[in-house]
Structures are given as structure tokens and as C-alpha cells.
């Protein structure tokens, strides 16, 4: 598997994890059946894609990117879709998360 394919698997894993997390909100405490079922489907698919990415990407880097980008995307989607609060501190935290992910990726370039 090429490194591009591994990063593509990781990107898919992130998108699926974010979809599952959005369904957590939409399930309204597991009271709505379709979003509740989709939580399981999206998370299982996300972990499957993550496993594929680990064929070429180091575990620490892959997990940090998956968790960091997923967290940042969920925070942005919370603001945009669910009208959650936006503060300067929240925006600064998002910048720090993304900066950390970029630095981890760059640190892996020489490996």
C-alpha cells in the first residue's frame, strides 16, 4: 500500500468517525433508532479504515491525527450545525489542535 493510500484511509476514518459523532447528537440519547444504528455503523467503518491506514502510518501519528482532526471538525460542526457557542478561547484551542496535528505529521516526514 502506498503512503497516499494510507493517508486516504485515515481521511476516510476521520470522516466516518465525525459522522458517527454527529449521529450521537442526532440520536437524542439513543431515542431515535436511525441515528442510533448509524452510530454503530459509522464507528465500525471508521475503525476498519483506521486499521487499513496503520499498514503504513505509525500508530501514534495516525491516532493523533484521527483524534485531533476529528475533534476540530466536531467543534466546528457543533458551532455551524448545532449553534454551539463560539468564543475566542474555543477558536484558539482549535488552532492549537490543528497546529499540533500538523507538527506531528511533519515530525514523521523524516522517519
Give per-residue pLDDT as tens, 56-94. 999 988 998 999 999 999 999 999 999 999 999 999 998
Give per-residue pLDDT as tens, 1-19. 899 999 999 999 999 999 9
pLDDT of residue 25 exceeding 80, the answer is yes
Q: CB pairs under 8 A, 24+ apart, for 98-105?
A: 98/68, 98/69, 98/72, 100/64, 100/68, 101/64, 101/65, 101/68, 101/69, 101/72, 104/60, 104/61, 104/64, 104/65, 104/68, 105/61, 105/65
Domain ranges of the chain: 3-108
Amino acid at each position: 500500500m502506498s503512503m497516499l493510500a494510507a493517508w486516504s484511509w485515515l481521511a476516510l476514518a476521520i470522516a466516518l468517525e465525525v459522522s458517527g459523532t454527529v449521529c450521537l447528537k442526532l440520536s437524542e440519547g439513543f431515542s431515535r433508532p436511525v441515528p442510533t444504528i448509524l452510530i454503530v455503523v459509522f464507528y465500525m467503518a471508521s475503525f476498519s479504515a483506521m486499521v487499513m491506514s496503520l499498514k503504513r502510518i505509525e500508530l501514534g501519528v495516525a491516532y493523533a491525527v484521527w483524534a485531533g482532526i476529528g475533534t476540530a471538525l466536531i467543534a466546528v460542526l457543533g458551532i455551524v450545525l448545532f449553534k454551539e457557542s463560539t468564543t475566542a478561547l474555543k477558536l484558539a484551542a482549535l488552532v492549537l489542535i490543528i497546529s499540533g496535528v500538523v507538527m506531528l505529521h511533519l515530525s514523521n516526514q523524516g522517519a
